[in-house]
Structure 1
Amino acid sequence: MNDASSQSASFSRVFADKKLSVGLLTPLEAYPNTPFPNLAHHQDIAKLAEDAGFASIWLRDVPFYDPNFGDAAQIIDPFVYAGYLSAVTRSITLGTAGAILPLRDPIAVAKQAASVDLLTNGRFVLGVSTGDRPVEYPAFGKDFDKRGEMYRESVEMINTLHQQSFPRFHSKHYGQLAGSLDLHPKPVNKRMPIMAVGRSRQPIEWLANNVDAWIWSVDDESAIRDIIASLNIAAEDKPAPHYGYATFFDLDANPDAPYQRFYNVVRIGRNALIERLLSHQELGVNHIALNLKPSRRPAQEVIEEMGQYVLPHLG
C-alpha cells in the first residue's frame, strides 16, 4: 500500500524508511489531574510544535466523555479541529488518530478527510480506528461485535470514493454506490494515506496489505522486532506498512533522569530519551506519538526542550 503514499510529502515527513519522527497527540497541553483540557493557547502551542520540528499533530476522536475512562481528549471533533489547525499551521502534518470508522458514515469521512487535505494542500493523513470505549456503540446504535468487519468495509469504501470516478460499490453495513455519483474533492495526491490506529480487530495480514502505516501502543523492544518482522512477512513482495507507537509522556526536568514506566506513562529525562529514540529507530520504528496529558511540566516547556535538545538527533 505505502508505495503510492510516497507521493505525499506529508506522509513521508512522518513515515520514512530508516528514520524516526516524533509527533504530538491532542490536546496539546498537560492536564494530569483532570479529564478535561482547557485548550488555552492551543493554536499557539500548535505553531510552537511546528517550529520546534515535530512531524505531526494527531487529533483524537472521542465522541463522549465516559467518567469510567477518565479522559475527554481534546473535546473538539477531529475534522473540525483539523480544519481550524490547517489555517494556523504551515507545514506540520495533520491527521486523525483515529477516526472511529464504525461510528461514522464512510462517505462523510471520505468527504471530510479530502476537504481537510485540500485545505492543507495535501498534508493530511487519515488515521482510523474502532475506538477504545465500548459504551459509545449503543449510543450510536451500532453493534460492537461487528466493529471489525465494519472497519474493513469502511476503509474499502473510503478508498473507492477517493480513487475512482463515479464508482460502484456494494456495502453490507453502509450505503450503495451505483456509478451515478462522484465524490469531490479528491485527495490532493491522488490517494489518501491510511493509518491504522490500534489493532481494530484486524489480523496482521490485513494490516500489512491495506494500510500505509500502523500506530499501536506497543513499545517493548522485543515485541517491536516481532511486529515489524510479521508485517514484512505478511506483505510478501510489497512494502510493509510503517510502524509506530503512541504513549503517554512525561519529560523529566532532570535531563539525566532514567527511563521509568508507570502503567502506561513513560517518564524519562532527555538524555535517556535520545538513546531510547535512536535505539527504536534502529529497530525500524518510524514514528512515535506523544500524549502530554500526564506531564508534570507545561506543554510549552516540554515542546521547547524537545525541539532544542532531542529532535535534532533524529533523521
Structure 2
Amino acid sequence: MKSSRLLSILLLLQTRGRMTAAQLAGELEVSIRTVYRDIESLHGAGVPLYGDAGHSGGYRLLAGYRTRLTGLNTGEAEALFLSGIPGPAADLGFGSALATAQLKLRAALPPELRAQADRMRSRFHLDAPGWYAGDDDVPYLPQVADAVWRGRVLDVRYRRWKEPTDVDRRLEPYGLVLKAGRWYVVAGPGPRTYRVDQILGLTVRDEEFEAPGDFDLARHWEGYQAGFHARLYRDEAVVRLSPRAASRLTGAAARALDGTGTAEPDGWIRALLPIESIDHAHGVFLAMGADVEVLGPPELRARLAETSRAMAARYSSG
C-alpha cells in the first residue's frame, strides 16, 4: 500500500541518512518512477525532505526531523515487541537500552496497536536455549561485541577440541551470531567461526580493520551451517524402523526418512539415514532398542549385535 511505502521511505531516510532514488527503489522493490511520485507526495504532505543533484546526491530529511511510528499496522507492532529478546540483549550489555526502546515504541503507538502489542507480550515468550543446554559462562562477550562494533582487532587465547587445545589467535571480528543459546563470533582471516564461550583470554588491540566489502553475515552463516551438516553427517546407515521409531525421528534423520523411506509388508519402514560416525550411531540406534534393525554398514551392525549379546548375557545371568 502507498501509505506503508511512504512510511518506509521516511524510516529509511531517518535511519540511513542520504539515499538515492535508485537505492530507495531497490529497498522497496518498486520502480524509480514510483519513488519520484512518493517523494512528491511527501513534499505535498509537508515533510521536510529535499534532494541534492550530482554524483554524491540523493534525498534526505531536514536535520532533527523524526516521524512517530503511527504508520505501523497490527502485525508489525506485534512483531517488533515479540522480537525484543531480553536475554541476548542483556548479554551484550543492551538490556536497559532495549527496555527503554520498547517503552518509547509503546508510547509512540496509537492506543489500539498499543493494546495489541501488550497482548502479544503477555501471550508469547521466547526462550532460545534448549532444555538440556546449561547457561554458558561467556565472560568476554561484551568485549567481543564492542570489538565487532568498533572494528578492532583481538588477540585471544582460544580452547579448541583437538590438540593442542589452547591456542593463540589474532581475530578480526566481523559479526556475532546467537544460535540455540550459544554465541559465535565470525572473524577473519578466513573467515572462521569461533565459540565465544571458549575464549580463555582476550586483549583488544589499537589496530583497526574493515570487513571485506562483499561480506554478508547472514549469508555466510547460512553457508557455514550447510557445510557443518555436510561435515557432521559423513556416513549413512541402512535401517529398518518400526512405526513408533520412525515417528520419533527429528532433524536430518527425519528429512532423510521422508526422502528415502519405503514401507515394507510388515509395516516397518526401510530407509537410508545419515550418521556422524560408527561410534555415535551405535549409541543412537542402541537407544531405540527393538524398534530398529541396522542392515548396514556391516561394522555398525556387528557392533550392535555384540552389544546386544553382552546385554542379554548380563541380564540373563541374574
What TM bracket, shorter-length normalisation? under 0.3
Normalised TM-score (structure 2): 0.21
TM-score (norm 1): 0.21
More strand as a share of residues? 2
Q: Per chain length, whose mean CA-contact separation is higher, i.e. which structure has more relative contact order (CA < 8 Å, sep 6+)?
A: 1
Structure ID, larger Rg:
2
More helix by share: 2
